[in-house]
């Protein structure tokens, strides 16, 4: 049976934390930061967690 390939786009967007949760980087953080409040930019720094229903699909894409 051949090796399972990972989806390259998924590896650039998602990762698995030490606790086993699938994480992602939040959108709207880099561009046009002047129009956003400091609090909003600070909150966008925190990585997001993928929902349980989607994490199974993302794990399959990552080959985990």
Per-residue tens of pLDDT for the chain, all 64 residues: 788 889 999 999 999 999 999 999 999 998 998 999 999 999 999 999 999 999 999 999 999 8
The whole-angstrom separation of Cα 24 and Cα 12 is: 9
pLDDT score at 64: 84
The whole-angstrom separation of Cα 61 and Cα 7 is: 5
Residue 26 lies in a domain: yes
pLDDT score at 56: 94
Residue 21 lies in a domain: yes
pTM of the model: 0.80
3-state helix, strand, coil split of the chain in percent (to 5) is: 45, 10, 45
Residue 50 lies in a domain: yes
**Residue 3 has which token pair?**
């090796």
Residue 3 lies in a domain: no
Residue 2 lies in a domain: no
Domain range for 27 = 8-62
Residue 1 lies in a domain: no
* Domain count of the fold of the chain: 1
């Amino acid at each position: 049976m051949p090796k399972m390939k990972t989806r390259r786009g998924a590896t650039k967007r998602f990762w698995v934390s030490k606790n086993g949760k699938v994480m992602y980087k939040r959108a709207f953080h880099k561009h046009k930061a002047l129009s956003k409040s400091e609090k909003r930019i600070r909150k966008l720094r925190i990585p997001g967690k993928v929902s349980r229903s989607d994490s199974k699909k993302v794990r399959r894409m990552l080959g985990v």
